[in-house]
Structures are given as C-alpha cells and as structure tokens.
Amino acid sequence: MSDVQHLGVLSGPVLIFGGPYGNLEATQALAHAAHALDIPATHVICTGDVVAYGADPQGVVDLIRVWGCPVVMGNCEESLAADAADCGCGFEEGTTCAALSDQWFTATRRDLDADAKRWMGGLPRQITFSLGGRRLAAVHGAATQINKFIFASTGSAVKAAEIAATGCDGVVAGHCGLPFTDIVGGRLWHNSGALGMPANDGTARIWFSLLTPTAEGVRIEHRALHYDHAPAAAKMRARGYPAGYADCLASGLWPSCDVLLPDERAARGRSISPSSHLWPEAALPTAAE
C-alpha cells in the first residue's frame, strides 16, 4: 500500500479514535457506539497503535479488519511488521515506560499471528480526507516522525510546522494518549485521545471524537466512553501484561508519566470533561496570508 491513503470528500460526521492498544472490550464498546450513532466504517478513522498494553492484540486486529475502518500505521504496527526488538514508542532508555514496554511488547509479539503482522506492514503512514471544505491529514505521532509526542502544551510553532509538512489545513493525530484540540494560526491540531487506556485523569473513561461539518465551520466533539474494563484488566494480569497498566484501566492513572511535559504531568488525576470546539469557517488563512 502507498504511504498515503486518500479517502476523498467525507460528508460527516467522522469518528476519530486512536490507541485501541489491544483492549478488545474498549474496541467493542466503540464499535457499538459507532453503530448507535449510525456512522459507517468509511467515516471512522483510527490513528494507529491498534495493539500495545492490552492482552487481546489478535482480537482487536481481527475486529478492526472486519469493521473495515481506515487505519494509520502507528509505531507499534511498524515495529511488529518489521519484527523489531522494541515497540519504537520513543521512550527514553532507563525510564519506567521503557522497562514496562519490554514486557507488553514481548507479550504482544507472542499473541499476534503472522497474518496480522503482514496487515500492519501494509497500513498507510498518512490518511487524507476532506471535510467541510477543509483538507485533513491523519497521522500517528506527527507528519515528520511516527513516534513524535505532541501534547496540548507543545509549542504552536512545532504544531504549525508539522501541519505545514502535510500540505493540509489540519492534522488528526494519536500517540500521546491524551485528548485535546488546538487551533494554530487558523489550522487544526486534534487528538482524540486513547481508546484502550484512560487519559491519566483519575477516571476509567476512554475517549473518541466526532468531527462534523456545519454552516459555521467544523464542530469537534471530545466524547467519553464507559465500558466494562474489569475483564480486560483480568486478561492482562493472566497473560503476562504489566499489572500497572491493568490497574490503570480502573484507576485512570498511568503507571508512569515519563513521556509527559510539565503541564500534562501536573494535570495527572484531574478529571477531563467532554467538550465541543468549533473550527470556524473564517479561521483558515487565505492563500495570500
């Protein structure tokens, strides 16, 4: 498959989710929510890391392949397809995140079949689509680096450069695991948060988003999802996945905050509220600008 998949013009709403992380119960809950919202698979986009911390990597891959929604290659898919020695998450050597990743990545490699890994190797690194007259690019971490962490507090200049690298009006990204929306110089940076792991906010909720074109612009909704996380956690403990991440499914607190910037680290345990944002029609700069 090409490094870029073009979906063309989508009428909306478009459902965005990232980081299913091998959490089958969470992925099933989202599939049910999409059905209830009457959103077809053609209007559902996953920003990658289909597998990671959760104990059902094969089940999640199978579900998403049957569902048929477009999926961006994440660093986990890239590493598993290449039979790499680690997840390629960008964790610094010697950190708790790096140590825990050795455990879950080894278990994930064990629990995935060869066909799933071949599928991962064929995923696009970028998906483009048009919505409400704007052109958007879905990537995993960033346009220039698959495992680049970009948070709400990341500087505007960094986001602007990454948006410019896509040649689009906005970016839909994953990787960092936290939901946020930022308008940078009239252009969009949006992260739906993670589906397979809570948002480090002290609640068990998981996150997805809806992008809907309106007469005023594109409405962006961050939506929380409740699901039965107990079976997912039990399987993680039984199948040799890190207990800290299993505990997180209930506590809503990550076992390590190594990757976070100071603002995001300070927000640990602070409950996030569902929110709605407008990317207004007048926000985009003109060609002369």
Is residue 150 a contact partner of residue 158, using CB atoms and an 8 Å limit?
A: yes
The answer as to whether 190 is a domain residue is yes
Asked if the structure places residue 289 within a domain, the reply is no
Q: Is residue 268 part of a domain?
A: yes
Mean pLDDT of all residues in 72-101: 88
In a domain, 287, yes or no: no
The answer to whether residue 257 sits within a structural domain is: yes
Local structure of 163: helix, strand or coil: helix
For residue 288, is it within any domain?
no
Q: For 152-194, what is each residue's pLDDT tens digit?
A: 999 999 999 999 999 999 999 999 999 999 999 999 999 999 9
Domain that holds residue 101: 4-282
Report pLDDT for 102. 86
The CA-based dihedral angle spanning residues 264, 177, 74, 28, taken in that order and rounded to the nearest 10 degrees: 180
The pairs formed by 154-162 with CB atoms below 8 angstroms and a separation of 24 or more are 154/261, 156/182, 156/184, 156/185, 159/184, 159/189, 160/184, 160/185, 160/187, 162/189
pLDDT of residue 2: 67
Please report the pLDDT score of residue 99 as a whole number. Answer: 85
Q: Number of H helices and number of E strands within the chain? A: 9, 11
This prediction's pTM:
0.95
- What residues are paired with 127 via a beta bridge? 5, 138
Q: What is the CATH number for 198?
A: 3.60.21.10
Provide the number of structural domains found in the chain: 1
Domain assignment of residue 126, yes or no: yes
3-state helix, strand, coil in the chain (%, to 5): 35, 25, 45
pLDDT tens sequence across 49-76: 999 999 999 999 999 999 999 999 999 9
Query: Does the residue 263 lie in any domain?
Result: yes
Q: Is the pLDDT of residue 5 over 70?
A: yes
